Structures are given as C-alpha cells and as structure tokens.
C-alpha cells in the first residue's frame, strides 16, 4: 500500500516537473506569468494530493512565489481582503451563539420536534433558504450553521456524515436563489453593467434563480438521504463520545446571556440587509458586531475563547487562494488563456442556442476545478463569456446569468468551497475527500443537465433567451 502511494506521488511530481518545463519553454508569457501559473498548479497539487493543511499549503506556495521573484506585497496583502475579515467575524459570531447557550436550547428544540431525519432535513432546507435572503456570504452562512449542525449531530449521531455534507451542499445550491446569495453574483453583474448597457435586478435574479436553486437543492437532499454514503461514518466521528450537551425536555425561559446574543445577532442581520441605506460594507458590519459581542461587560464570550474558535487554517487558505488567483490575472495568465480559447472558438460554425448553453454550463461548472476562489471565478469567467456573447451575438444577460449559476457549483473537493472547508476542518470531521468525490460523481452531471433543462423549459421563456 505504501509503495503504491509513494509510486503515485512520484508520478505526480514527475508530471509537475515536466509541466513546469513546458510552461517555461513553450508558453508565450512573461517570467512572472510563468511563475504564477506554475505556483498555482503546485498549490492545486498540494491541496488535492498532500496531507498538508490547506492554509499551510497555500501560504507556502505564496512564499515560494516570492522567492522566485514575485513582489512580497502579494504575501502581506493576502490578508487585506474583505472576505478574510468577514469570515473572522462570522466565526466569532458563531462561537457567541454556542457560548451563550442558544446551541443547547436548539438541541432541546430538536429533542422535542425533530424526531425523524425528514423533519431535520426540512428544517435545514428552510433555515438555509431563509439565511440566503439575509446573509450574503456562503462562508458566513456555513459558520452560522455550525451550531445547528452540532445540535443535529447530537440528535442523530449515526448520520453525522450525511448532515455534515448536506448543510454545506445546500448552502451552495441555494446560493442560486437570490442576488445576494454570493459575492460572485454582485461581481458578475457589476462587470455586465460595466461592459454593456444591461443589468440584472434583485427581482429578476429571484425569478430566474429561485426555482432552479430550490429544485436542485431538493434533488441534492434526496440523493444524500438515500445514498449509501450516509452509512459510512468517519472514524473521527464514530470513535469519539457524543457531544456532551444536556437536553432538558421542558423549555426554560431565555437567560440574560441568550437575550443579549439574540439582540446583537438581530442587529447584525438588520445591518446586513440595510447595507444600501447606511453604506457600511458587510465585512465591516460583521467585524463591528463580532467585536461588540466580545466586550467583557456583556459577558457573552472571552477574547481568548472567541479567537480559539476561528478556523485559522481556513482563513489562511482563503487569503492564499485569492492571492494566487490574483497573480494569474496580474501577470497576464488569464488573458493568455482567454486568447487561446477565443482563437479556437472563432473558427466554429453557427450553432443553435442549446449548444451554447451546454458549453457555458460545462465550462462554468468545471471552472471550480481550476480556480478555487468563488469570486475569482467570476472575475475570470464573466469578462470571457461577455466576449463570447459579443462574438456570437448572444444575449449578454442570459450568458452572464447562466455562467453565475454554473460558477456556484463547487462540490468536488473540500478546497473547492469555503462552505465545504469549514465543515471539513472541524475536529470531528464529518466526511472525507473520497466520500465527497463519490457524491460529486452524481451531483455534477445532474447539475449540468438540470441547467440545460431549465433553459429549455423555463429560462428562455422569461427573458433569458440566448438569441
């Protein structure tokens, strides 16, 4: 077994060296462009095939890029991103929910109401859908769902794997239901507005995306509930004692600590929803409210305890992955790839609209295998598909919307999505990479086919016709 693993690893590294030589000898890129793509490929190899924590692997690759000549500012500025601080704040808020006693109350509620898996699954569906309309970040929703997952795991300990997969997967599939479901939506529509005279309103996005998001989420939930994957609990889960949370059958009044937490969390949600009125960035609001919750006089949670609850490996992964994606843009790698793709497409004959839908669906869904950052995929793909739309005289709104729906699929590996990685990095890891890959073999083709079917039977009749 060890020999096989070592042999396979050897082939991976030999392939990487050969690819590196090809990059430096053949590709028409600047030196730093070649370094950028080589380091990016190295990062993907480490993310997928090594046992290094994702955050450590990403930061080591950034350090390697600096040693090869990339300015060191890329390393230091990697933490200077809104998403990084938004996630830190979201983790702190999640820890407050648990520390305040609201988690225990949630467990009590489950002990009284959710006696079956179907009820628990419906509760998850409803909760995530509600969050999608108010919390504009997949990572924030994932962090907010952690206490709920702990409660469900306590009620159904033999289904920890199923629910550990279901929650982040539904967070990602329900991202399609609303304009603020993901930052990539706002980025993509911003690029659409900048390059054309078209836009997609909040109501338009809900009208087009809500049916798709709800239906694909239901399909994913059914597959998870009846898949044999749920019968494969991780050793980390099965070998450990159940979470030691007392369950009181009788409901007690809210404590002072719980009331304070609910009020502050309510204020946070109101500030998130009313960003257009007060003008404060969502990441700033999250950090502001998280630090307010840390004020000692409130007695919600200590500074040390809150910081210990932050998944720093995930924070460093997000920072490094985004920085690596920025290198590809900064040093012309993305433009080089765009030019190569367009040179191939220009010679193609006139094709029916459905062929373009299939191409857009496959490319946008598959993009998460190359570009791990959700927002970076939008930055890379949306300008490309707009050129694609102009070349073949396609409806730019339709092209961008279909691309954004495809970008939202990122379920192949834990590093493919921050929502998945948040659950994957838990001490009691609910699933492993192999289980996720097996599930992806079903979900990925279903997702692509469902996108095509939605265009054929719904989208083209409500304003999203490609031609």
CB 385 within 8 A of CB 403: yes
- Which tops the pLDDT comparison, 305 or 334? 305
Over residues 342-371, mean pLDDT: 82
Residue 462 C-beta-side C-alpha neighbours within 13 Å: 16
Least confident residue range of 266-270, 272-276, 284-288: 272-276
Domain assignments of the chain as residue spans, ordered by start: 82-312
Q: Is the pLDDT of residue 210 over 90?
A: yes
Give pLDDT, residue 244.
44
- Whole-number Å distance between alpha carbons of 457 and 455: 6
Q: What pLDDT is recorded for position 239?
A: 38
In the predicted model, what is the mean pLDDT of residues 424-447?
86
Q: Percentage of residues in the chain with pLDDT exceeding 70?
A: 89
* Of residues 236 and 211, more confidently modeled: 211
Which structure tokens are listed for 191?
A: 């690029």
Is residue 237 over pLDDT 50? no
What CA–CA distances, in Å, run from 363 to 223, 249, 356?
24, 51, 10
7 or 293, which is more confident: 293
pLDDT over 80 at 460, yes or no: yes
> Given pLDDT bands bounded at 50, 70 and 90, which one contains residue 379?
confident
Tokens matching residue 64: 């390697």
Q: Provide the pLDDT confidence category of residue 2 given band limits of 50, 70 and 90.
A: very low
Max mean pLDDT among 98-102, 104-108, 363-367, 369-373 falls in: 363-367
**What's the token pair of residue 386?**
């707009």
pLDDT of 242 reads 40
Least Cα distance to 139 among 181, 79, 176, 190 occurs for 181
* Structure confidence at residue 150 (pLDDT): 80
pLDDT of residue 246: 46
Rounded distance, CA 361 to CA 407, Å? 9
Q: Is the pLDDT of residue 324 over 50?
A: yes
Q: For residue 182, is pLDDT > 60?
A: yes
Percent of the chain whose predicted confidence (pLDDT) is above 90: 23
Distance in angstroms between the alpha carbons of the first and the last residue of the chain: 55
- What pTM, to 2 d.p., does this model score? 0.67
How is residue 418 written in tokens? 């921050």
């Amino acid at each position: 077994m060890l020999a096989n693993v070592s042999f396979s690893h050897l082939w991976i590294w030999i392939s990487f060296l050969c690819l590196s030589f090809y990059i430096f000898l053949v590709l028409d890129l600047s030196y730093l462009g070649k370094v950028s793509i080589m380091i990016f490929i190295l990062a993907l190899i480490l993310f997928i095939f090594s046992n290094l924590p994702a955050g450590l692997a990403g930061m080591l690759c950034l350090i390697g890029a600096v040693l090869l000549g990339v300015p060191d500012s890329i390393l230091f500025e990697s933490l200077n991103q809104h998403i990084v601080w938004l996630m830190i704040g979201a983790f702190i808020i999640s820890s407050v929910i648990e520390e305040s006693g609201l988690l225990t109350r949630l467990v009590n509620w489950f002990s009284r109401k959710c006696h079956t898996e179907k009820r628990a699954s419906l509760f998850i569906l409803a909760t995530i859908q509600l969050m999608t309309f108010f919390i504009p970040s997949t990572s924030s929703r994932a962090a907010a769902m952690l206490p709920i997952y702990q409660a469900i795991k306590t009620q159904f300990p033999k289904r920890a794997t199923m629910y550990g997969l279901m929650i982040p997967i539904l967070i990602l599939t329900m991202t399609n239901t609303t304009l603020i479901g993901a930052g990539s939506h706002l980025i993509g529509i911003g690029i659409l507005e900048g390059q054309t005279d078209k836009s997609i309103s909040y109501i338009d996005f809900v009208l087009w995306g809500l049916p798709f998001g709800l239906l694909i989420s239901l399909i994913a939930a059914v597959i998870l509930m009846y898949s044999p994957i749920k019968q494969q609990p991780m050793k980390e889960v099965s070998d450990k004692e159940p979470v030691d949370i007392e369950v009181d059958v009788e409901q007690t009044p809210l404590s002072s600590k719980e009331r304070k937490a609910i009020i502050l969390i309510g204020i946070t949600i109101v500030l998130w929803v009313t960003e257009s009125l007060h003008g404060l960035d969502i990441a700033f609001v999250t950090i502001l409210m998280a630090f307010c919750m840390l004020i000692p006089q409130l007695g919600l949670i200590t500074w040390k305890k809150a910081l210990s609850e932050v998944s720093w490996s995930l924070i460093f992964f997000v920072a490094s992955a985004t920085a690596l994606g920025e290198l590809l843009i900064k040093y012309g790698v993305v433009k080089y790839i765009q030019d190569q793709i367009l040179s191939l497409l220009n010679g193609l004959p006139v094709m029916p609209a459905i062929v373009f839908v299939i191409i857009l669906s496959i490319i946008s869904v598959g993009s998460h295998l190359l570009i791990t950052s959700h927002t970076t995929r939008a930055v890379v793909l949306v300008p490309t598909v707009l050129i694609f739309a102009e070349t073949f005289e396609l409806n730019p709104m339709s092209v961008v919307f279909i691309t954004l729906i495809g970008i939202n699929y990122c379920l192949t590996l834990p590093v493919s999505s921050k929502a998945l990685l948040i659950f994957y990095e838990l001490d009691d890891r609910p699933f492993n990479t192999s289980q996720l890959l097996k599930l992806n073999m079903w979900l990925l083709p279903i997702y692509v086919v469902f996108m095509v079917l939605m265009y054929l039977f719904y989208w083209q009749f409500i304003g999203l016709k490609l031609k």
